[in-house]
A and B are shown apart, each in its own frame.
Chain A
Amino acid sequence: MGSRASSLLREEDIEEIKKETGFSHSQITRLYSRFHSLDKGENGALSREDFQRIPELAINPLGDRIINAFFPEGEDQVNFRGFMRTLAHFRPVEDNEKNKDPTAEPLNSRNNKLLFAFRLYDLDRDDKISRDELLQVLRMMVGVNISDEQLGSIADRTIQEADTNGDMSISFSEFIKVLEKVDVEQKMSIRFLH
């Protein structure tokens, strides 16, 4: 009679996820309901098709890249822990309490948010954004509306401005430098209700 989704999540798991991600108890149970409703195969894990079934995500030009960010290297399934770990990047920074583990960097720190965005560009996960990768991502965002030449010059200009060590690609530290004035904390945060 309906799905008692919350009863499938054990208290210990909730505590662990709380420690790792910083979400509150009620947020975790609500997100578990959401995870469960997306999991059409009811096997406790989401596949890429499960994500693509969301129309608003399917029409997002970077939808595939975002979906990819949830899946660890080489895997086709993401479980609830992995799901929460990725979503944790989007928690607002102000939500962090003072008594969190001071040695581990929280998943939603400015640095980790930037790393998430960096990985959207870095298609082959080699910690560098090459001209080719930048072009591919640009092409995803603009579709057929801009010519190859124009796109090429945009990519060249962007790399020129960002590249400080002359290797014609953008490393993570160069990426951070380019975005130092941008309010990353606000742009890459989602307001979760309690």
Chain B
Amino acid sequence: MFLFDNLLCMLLGISFTVWFTLLLVFIIVPAVFGVSFGILSVYICTCLLFLTVLLSPSGIIAKELASLEQEMQEMRRSGSGSALGGAEFEMSDIFHFCRRGVESIVDDEVTKRFTAEELESWNLLTRSNYNFNHISTRLTVLWGLGVLIRYGILLPLRVTLAFTGVGLLVFLTSLIGLLPNGGMKSFLSEKAHLMCYRICVRALTAIITYHDSENKPKNGGICVANHTSPIDVIILSSDGCYAMVGQVHGGLMGVIQRAMVKACPHIWFERSEVKDRHLVAKRLSDHVADKTKLPILIFPEGTCINNTSVMMFKKGSFEIGCTVYPVAIKYDPRFGDAFWNSSKFGMVNYLLHMMSSWAIVCSVWYLPPMSREEGEDAVQFANRVKAAIARKGGLADLLWDGGLKRDKVKEVFKEEQQKLYSKVLVGGAEDRSRS
């Protein structure tokens, strides 16, 4: 009995040591130096080989794209007009609103942005299994194998890495915080931040492709990006140093925040200060004015969107009047959906999902810097930047507010629709009086 126990302990000890050494050699050390072995690319290719089930295309209906005016004119030409050459109001006008309304009930542009994107083929993750009913035994076996690999091998590995990364971040930044302000401190802080974020990137098995790095954000500017999940921060920070903006949290987040701010200036707001827009604007402009401070990282959508579209940008960051560096982030949903549905999953649940996916594959595009032009107001500037980001990332450019995730739509939009229709009616009257 004893012998067996001893043997077991010895085996466990050895395997643990071997495992940890492998971890160190193949992942942590390269992360520190920013080098890669290309093991990950091999992994991704093998993954792709297995993800081969094809199913029906997404999309429930094909929508009519004609505008209100176009449709009304068509109906009047073909329609039930009286001998007087077309009355102003037709009883058939209601058809347009009716059909549009029912179309939006079946499939609308907004509500689907707040839940994970539907995939065309299944990627063997239970959580992306919506419409895939007929699952053969072969697929079930593959899925079972997938679960074993993901939860048995990948998850523990990643969790260890995550703890290492975060722990090192807190430790090193606190240490660097003891140094006097100056070139040495900034240099070390940059190195420490980069190293820890790279370890975190490995912890998520994130394969990131950075495009157009010559446009990387510089000091004294604001970096804006589309927001899909908290991981966006890690992805951008592992390639450059930014000053973060956010609310002060308690608990573990709070510890990390306090440690980070020791090494280099970040902008953390108290809960009460967030409501005061002038205070927020002032702190941001002060930071931007100081050219020794790092560029600020902001997500103007204000909430996580599911990476199929870019929603309205809040104008606050565009009013400050400094150079804006837009960045587009696009995730490949086949390997693991990075979208955080905060109404469904808490942070811990979400991180567990992330770490048990196949991988996080994404592309980051650094767009050329933009500034507010003459005669352009903050909202127009924000829309211009948003359009550029949407175009680069291949995302739909929507005017809808991400706040619609939780709030009701404003009445003013309905009034615009009513105004449009009134113009069609009254326009008819003008034609009649002319003829």
Contact = CB atoms under 8 A, between A and B. Distances in A.
Interface of A: 1-6, 26-27, 29-31, 33-34, 37-38, 51-63, 66, 87, 90, 116-117, 120-121, 137-138, 141-146, 150, 154, 157-158, 161-162, 175, 178-184, 187-194
B56 interface: yes
B414 interface: yes
Contact of A154 (B60, B61, B89, B418): B89
Interface residues of B, number: 61
A193 B61 contact: yes
Given A175-B91, A188-B99, A34 B60 contact: yes
A158 B80 contact: no
B94 A117 contact: yes
Interface string B67-88: 0000000010011101000011
A141 B91 contact: no
B331 to A, nearest CB: 18
Contacts of A59: 409, 413-414, 416-417
B422 A142 contact: yes
Label chain B's interface by main secondary structure: helix
A193 B57 contact: yes
B421 A61 contact: yes
Interface stretch (B102-110, B170-178, B269-277, B293-301): B102-110
Interface stretch (B27-35, B125-133, B188-196): B125-133
B314 to A, nearest CB: 17
B98 A66 contact: yes
Given A2-B126, A188-B95, A56 B418 contact: no
Contacts of B100: 56, 60
A17 to B, nearest CB: 15
A190 B421 contact: no
11 contacts: A33-B131, A34-B107, A37-B115, A56-B109, A62-B101, A87-B102, A158-B91, A181-B80, A182-B78, A192-B60, A193-B59
A2 B128 contact: yes
A56 B80 contact: no
Nearest to B95: A187
Contact of B418 (A33, A142, A158): A142
Nearest to A143: B418
Interface of B: 56-57, 59-62, 75, 78-80, 82, 87-89, 91-112, 115, 126-131, 133, 400, 404, 408-409, 413-419, 421-423, 425-426, 429
Contacts of A182: 75, 78-80, 92, 95
A60 B104 CA distance: 10
Given A61-B417, A180-B80, A51 B91 contact: no
A190 B97 contact: no
Contacts of B98: 62, 66, 116-117, 120, 188
B75 A187 contact: yes
A2 B339 CA distance: 13
A31 B60 CA distance: 8
Contact of A57 (B96, B101, B112, B130): B101
A144 B415 CA distance: 8
A186 B426 CA distance: 26
B177 to A, nearest CB: 41
B421 A179 contact: no
